[in-house]
Structure 1
Amino acid sequence: MNKPTEKRTLTRTMRSLHRDIGFLMIGLTLMYCLSGIVLIYRDSGFLKFENHVETDIDRGLTSKELEAALHLRRITVERLEAGVIHFNNGEYNVLTGHASYTLQEYPWLVRKFNALHLSPSSSAMHYFGIAYGLLLIFLALSSLLMYKPGTKSFRRGITLSSAGVAMAVMLMFIG
C-alpha cells in the first residue's frame, strides 16, 4: 500500500524543525536554567563551601595591589597591626608576604556549569554559547511560523510574543 506523498509546506517544515531542535535543547536549557538560578544567588553563599588558602606573595603590597595579587575583589581592610593587614576573610603579612584567607567556592560541577554563562570571547566555549543562543532564537521565531497567518493560533502567538517583549522591557526599567 503506497502512502500519498505529503506536501512539504513551510508550516510543516517549521513544525518538524521546531520539534527536533526543541528536543535537542531540553537538556541544554535545563542545565542553563539551573546554573542561572545558582548565579542569581552567588552573593548569598548558596551551595558554596569554604576553602582556606595559604600562599606567599610579594612583600609590602598595598590593599589594591593585594587584591590583584590574590585575584580577589572588594578587599576591605579592617585593621593594620604589627605589619599585618587584616581584611575581610583573611590577613596578609606585609613583612613576609604570607597571606592567609578563606574563599567561598562552588563545588567543581557547579563551577563548570556556571563557566558556560561566563565564557569570554577568547575562549573556545563561547562558540557553544553563540550556537545555543541562535538555536533559542530559531525556536522562538519558528514557533510563529508553525501556524498560518490569520488563524486564531497565529494571532494568539503574536499576542503572547508581544506580552513577552513588553515584560522584558519592563524588567529592564525595574532592574
Structure 2
Amino acid sequence: MTETPDSPQPSAPPKPKKKRRRWRPAVRALHRDLGYLVVGLTLVYAMSGLAVNHIEDWDPNFVAFEAEHALAAPLPEDEDAAVRQVLDQLGIDEEPTDKFLYEQELEIQLDGRTLYANGETMTILDRGQRARPGLRLANWLHLNRGKKAWTVVADGYAIILLFLATSGMLMIPGKKGMRGRGWVLVLIGAAVPIAYVVLSGGPS
C-alpha cells in the first residue's frame, strides 16, 4: 500500500530529557538559611572591626568625660568627713579605691573616675571615662576575650563564612556565575590582599 501525500508521517521518538542538576536549589536554600543565622554575628564583627581598625584615632571601648561642679561647703579637716561630704553632694554611693587630702585639696579615686575637690576655689572636677554601650561588648567578643566558650562560637562562625563564600560561587549558573564574570570578580577580590602584601612589604 502506497502512502498518499496527505498521509501523516511517523513522529520522531522524543529526545530523552537531560537530568537537571538538583544540588543548586539545595545549596541556595542552605546558603540563605545560614546567611540569616549569622546576621547577628556578622553585625558584631563588622562594627567592632571598624572600631578597632582606628584604635590610634580614638578609644573604641571608652569615652572620656569631664564635668565641673560647685563645692557646696568648705572641706572638713578630717579626710573621711571630706570624702563623705563630696560623695553625698554628688549623690555617689560608692566606696573610693583611694583618697588623699592635703589642706583644702581632696582627691577621690573611684572605679573609672576621679574627683578633685578644691576648698579654696570651691569647685569639684569630675574626670573619668564611660564604657561605650554595645560597642565595648562587641569588641570584647571580636577580640575573643571570652576565651574557651567563645572560641567554639567563633570557629563555627568562621566555618559558616567559608561555606557562604564557596557556595556563593556555585549557586548561579551561566554567564553570571563562575563560567562568566564570576571568576573575574573572584580574582579581583583575591588580588586585593595579595597586592597589599606585595606593596607594603608584608610582615618584617
TM-score (norm 2): 0.50
Which residue of structure 2 aligns with residue 14 of structure 1? 27
> Is 1:43 paired with 2:66?
no
Q: Distance in 1 between matches of 2:50 and 2:43?
A: 11
Identity of aligned residues (%): 33
Q: Which runs of 5+ in 1 are unaligned?
A: 1-6, 57-101
The alpha-carbon distance between structure 1 residues 105 and 158, as it changes in their structure 2 partners (threshold 3 A), is farther
Contact 2:140 2:146 in 1 (8 A): no
SS in 2 for 1:124: helix
Please list, as runs of the form range in 1=range in 2, the aligned pairs for 1:23-102 lying within 5 A after superposition: 23-46=36-59, 48-50=62-64
Which residue of structure 2 aligns with residue 167 of structure 1? 192
The one-letter amino acid paired with 2:161 is: L
The one-letter amino acid paired with 1:49 is: V
Please list, as runs of the form range in 1=range in 2, the aligned pairs for 1:128-139 lying within 5 A after superposition: 128-139=153-164
> Is 1:144 paired with 2:157?
no
Q: Cα distance, 1:18 vs. partner?
A: 0.9
The alpha-carbon distance between structure 1 residues 17 and 26, as it changes in their structure 2 partners (threshold 3 A), is same
The one-letter amino acid paired with 2:40 is: G
Which residue of structure 1 aligns with residue 124 of structure 2? none
The one-letter amino acid paired with 1:171 is: Y
1:18-52 Cα shifts (integer Å, max 9, x gaps): 11111222232122111111111222225532389
Q: Cα distance, 1:16 vs. partner?
A: 0.8
Contact 2:63 2:130 in 1 (8 A): yes
Q: Cα distance, 1:139 vs. partner?
A: 0.4
Contact 1:18 1:143 in 2 (8 A): yes
Q: Distance in 2 between matches of 1:103 and 1:127?
A: 36
Which residue of structure 1 aligns with residue 104 of structure 2? none
Q: Cα distance, 1:171 vs. partner?
A: 2.6
Q: Distance in 1 between matches of 2:133 and 2:144?
A: 16
The alpha-carbon distance between structure 1 residues 38 and 121, as it changes in their structure 2 partners (threshold 3 A), is closer
Q: Distance in 2 between matches of 1:122 and 1:12?
A: 37
Q: Distance in 2 between matches of 1:41 and 1:147?
A: 37
Q: Distance in 1 between matches of 2:155 and 2:129?
A: 30
Query: How many pairs are equivalent?
Result: 122
SS in 2 for 1:125: helix
Contact 1:119 1:125 in 2 (8 A): yes
> Is 1:114 paired with 2:128?
no
Which residue of structure 2 aligns with residue 65 of structure 1? none
TM-score (norm 1): 0.57
